[in-house]
C-alpha cells in the first residue's frame, strides 16, 4: 500500500529529534531511522520486527544533527522510503488487573515495563511506549506501533523473557475497538477501566 508523506519529517519521540522512514518490499516492511545523540547521529535500519544494524555519523562542522539526519535520509528516500503518518499507527495496550487502585510497587512495575517496551519495539523498528495509567483496578501500558501483529509477538516474547507475562492481557486498538490478541483464550470484555 502506498503511504503518503507526513507533513513534518523530524518528530520528537521520547524527547529526541528522530526521523523514521519505512518501505514495503517483497520481503516485508523495512525501516530506516535516525536520531541525534548529543552532536552525533545514530542511524538504525533493518527489517521491521527484527533488530537492525546501527551506525554512527560523526559530527560535521557547521551542521546541526537535524541537518545531518535530513542529509542522511536522502538515500533511503531515493529508494522509496517514507514516513508513516501517526494516524496510520496502531495502539497496543498491555494490561494487568490489580487487587487495589494501584500501589507504588505497581507504578514501579509500569515504569519497568515501559522501559522494556521502548527497548524491544524501538530496536525492532516497530514503535515506542507511550506511557501508562493506573487506577480503577487496572494498569495499562500503551505503545504506538507500525505493525500490531509483529509488535504483539515482540511484546509477548519480551514479557515472557522478563517473567512479566503472567496475568498480562495484550490488546490492539482498531479504530474505536480493542481486540485482545493475548492470551488466545481470553474471554470477557476488554476495557481500559
Share of the chain above pLDDT 70, in %: 92
- Residue 191 lies inside a defined structural domain of this protein: no
The span from the CA of 144 to the CA of 91, in Å, is 5
Q: Contact, 144 vs 91, CB < 8 A?
A: yes
pLDDT at residue 14, rounded to an integer? 42
Q: Is the domain of 74 the same as that of 94?
A: no
Question: For 147-164, what is each residue's pLDDT tens digit?
Answer: 999 999 999 999 999 999
Instruction: Say yes or no to pLDDT of 172 above 90.
Output: yes
How many structural domains compose the chain? 2
Q: Which CA distances in Å does 129 have to 126, 145, 178?
A: 10, 9, 17
pLDDT at residue 175, rounded to an integer? 87
Q: Is the domain of 99 the same as that of 164?
A: yes
Mean pLDDT of 87-108: 92
* Residue 41's pLDDT band (cuts 50, 70, 90): very high
Share of the chain above pLDDT 90, in %: 80
Instruction: Say yes or no to pLDDT of 145 above 90.
Output: yes
Domain boundary among 52, 67, 86: 86
pLDDT at residue 13, rounded to an integer? 46
pLDDT at residue 16, rounded to an integer? 54
Question: For 176-185, what is each residue's pLDDT tens digit?
Answer: 899 999 999 9
Residues forming beta bridges with residue 82, ordered by sequence position = 22
Higher-confidence residue of 1 and 144: namely 144
Mean pLDDT of 123-145: 94
Q: Is the domain of 80 the same as that of 93?
A: no
Question: For 6-18, what is each residue's pLDDT tens digit?
Answer: 323 444 444 458 9
Containing domain of residue 99, as a range?
A: 89-182
Per-residue exposure over 12-29, b if at least 16 CB sit within 10 Å of its own CB, e if not = ebeeebbbbbbbeeeeeb
Question: For 55-78, what is each residue's pLDDT tens digit?
Answer: 999 999 999 999 999 999 999 999
pLDDT at residue 193, rounded to an integer? 78
The span from the CA of 59 to the CA of 8, in Å, is 23
What SS3 class is residue 190?
coil
Q: Is the domain of 77 the same as that of 38?
A: yes
Look up residue 124 and give its DSSP letter: T
Amino acid at each position: 500500500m502506498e503511504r503518503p508523506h507526513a507533513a513534518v519529517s523530524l518528530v520528537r519521540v521520547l524527547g529526541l529529534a528522530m526521523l523514521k522512514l519505512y518501505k514495503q518490499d517483497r520481503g516485508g516492511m523495512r525501516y530506516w531511522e535516525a536520531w541525534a545523540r548529543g552532536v552525533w547521529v545514530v542511524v538504525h535500519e533493518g527489517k521491521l520486527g527484527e533488530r537492525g544494524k546501527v551506525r554512527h555519523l560523526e559530527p560535521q562542522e557547521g551542521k546541526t544533527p537535524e541537518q545531518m539526519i535530513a542529509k542522511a535520509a536522502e538515500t533511503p528516500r531515493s529508494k522509496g522510503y517514507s514516513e508513516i503518518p501517526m494516524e496510520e499507527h496502531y495502539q497496543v495496550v498491555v494490561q494487568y488487573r490489580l487487587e487495589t487502585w494501584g500501589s507504588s510497587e505497581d507504578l514501579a512495575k509500569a515504569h519497568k515495563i515501559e522501559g522494556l517496551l521502548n527497548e524491544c519495539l524501538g530496536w525492532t523498528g516497530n514503535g515506542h511506549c507511550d506511557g501508562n495509567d493506573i487506577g480503577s483496578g487496572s494498569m495499562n501500558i500503551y505503545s504506538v506501533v507500525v505493525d500490531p501483529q509483529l509488535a504483539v509477538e515482540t511484546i509477548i516474547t519480551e514479557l515472557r523473557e522478563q517473567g512479566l507475562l503472567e496475568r498480562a492481557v495484550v490488546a490492539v486498538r482498531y479504530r474505536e475497538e480493542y481486540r485482545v490478541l493475548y492470551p488466545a483464550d481470553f474471554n470477557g470484555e476488554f476495557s481500559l477501566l
